[in-house]
Amino acid sequence: MTETLFRKKPGMTSVKDMPILQDGPPPGGFAPVRFARRIPNKGPSAVAIFLATFGAFSWGMYQVGKGKQDPKDGDF
Protein backbone atom coordinates (compact mmCIF):
# COMPACT_ATOMS: atom_id res chain seq x y z
CA MET A 1 0.00 0.00 0.00
CA THR A 2 1.22 3.46 -0.75
CA GLU A 3 0.19 6.88 0.43
CA THR A 4 -0.82 8.76 -2.69
CA LEU A 5 -3.34 11.05 -4.21
CA PHE A 6 -5.54 8.86 -6.33
CA ARG A 7 -8.35 10.49 -8.26
CA LYS A 8 -7.78 13.61 -6.21
CA LYS A 9 -8.52 11.78 -2.93
CA PRO A 10 -5.76 11.43 -0.30
CA GLY A 11 -5.21 8.15 1.47
CA MET A 12 -4.01 4.62 1.04
CA THR A 13 -4.51 2.98 -2.32
CA SER A 14 -4.20 -0.58 -3.51
CA VAL A 15 -1.88 -1.61 -6.31
CA LYS A 16 -4.95 -2.85 -8.15
CA ASP A 17 -6.37 0.68 -8.13
CA MET A 18 -3.23 2.33 -9.51
CA PRO A 19 -3.04 3.11 -13.22
CA ILE A 20 -1.07 0.71 -15.39
CA LEU A 21 2.22 2.19 -16.52
CA GLN A 22 4.21 0.19 -19.06
CA ASP A 23 7.49 0.79 -20.82
CA GLY A 24 7.31 1.13 -24.55
CA PRO A 25 9.83 0.61 -27.33
CA PRO A 26 12.48 3.27 -27.86
CA PRO A 27 11.78 5.93 -30.47
CA GLY A 28 12.48 4.48 -33.89
CA GLY A 29 12.03 0.90 -32.63
CA PHE A 30 14.47 -1.74 -31.56
CA ALA A 31 17.46 -2.79 -33.64
CA PRO A 32 16.88 -5.90 -35.79
CA VAL A 33 17.82 -9.20 -34.18
CA ARG A 34 19.91 -11.73 -36.11
CA PHE A 35 18.14 -15.04 -35.64
CA ALA A 36 19.37 -17.06 -38.62
CA ARG A 37 21.39 -20.13 -37.68
CA ARG A 38 24.89 -20.10 -39.05
CA ILE A 39 26.12 -23.68 -38.96
CA PRO A 40 29.66 -24.18 -40.29
CA ASN A 41 30.18 -26.70 -43.09
CA LYS A 42 33.05 -28.53 -41.44
CA GLY A 43 33.35 -31.74 -39.54
CA PRO A 44 32.92 -35.40 -40.45
CA SER A 45 30.12 -36.51 -42.74
CA ALA A 46 27.27 -38.73 -41.61
CA VAL A 47 28.83 -41.72 -43.37
CA ALA A 48 32.15 -41.21 -41.57
CA ILE A 49 30.38 -40.98 -38.19
CA PHE A 50 28.38 -44.13 -38.96
CA LEU A 51 31.46 -46.08 -40.00
CA ALA A 52 33.43 -44.99 -36.94
CA THR A 53 30.55 -45.96 -34.65
CA PHE A 54 30.12 -49.31 -36.40
CA GLY A 55 33.87 -49.97 -36.15
CA ALA A 56 33.98 -49.12 -32.44
CA PHE A 57 30.94 -51.32 -31.77
CA SER A 58 32.42 -54.22 -33.75
CA TRP A 59 35.76 -53.98 -31.96
CA GLY A 60 33.98 -53.90 -28.58
CA MET A 61 31.90 -56.95 -29.43
CA TYR A 62 35.10 -58.74 -30.53
CA GLN A 63 36.63 -57.94 -27.13
CA VAL A 64 33.52 -59.25 -25.35
CA GLY A 65 33.63 -62.44 -27.38
CA LYS A 66 37.32 -62.84 -26.64
CA GLY A 67 36.62 -62.45 -22.93
CA LYS A 68 34.00 -65.20 -22.96
CA GLN A 69 36.49 -67.88 -23.98
CA ASP A 70 37.22 -70.75 -21.65
CA PRO A 71 38.73 -69.29 -18.45
CA LYS A 72 40.85 -72.46 -17.99
CA ASP A 73 43.10 -71.28 -20.83
CA GLY A 74 44.83 -68.90 -18.43
CA ASP A 75 45.66 -66.24 -21.02
CA PHE A 76 43.63 -63.49 -19.41
The model's pLDDT over 33-55, given as tens digits with 9 standing for 90+, comes to 888 878 777 889 999 999 999 99
- pLDDT value, residue 28: 92
DSSP string, the chain: -EEEEETTEEEEE-GGGSPP----PPTT-PPPPP------S-S--HHHHHHHHHHHHHHHHHHHHHHTS-GGG---
Q: Count of CB atoms within 10 A of residue 64's CB?
A: 9
Report the pLDDT averaged over residues 61-75: 77
pTM tops 0.75: no
Q: Are 32 and 44 in contact (CB under 8 A)?
A: no
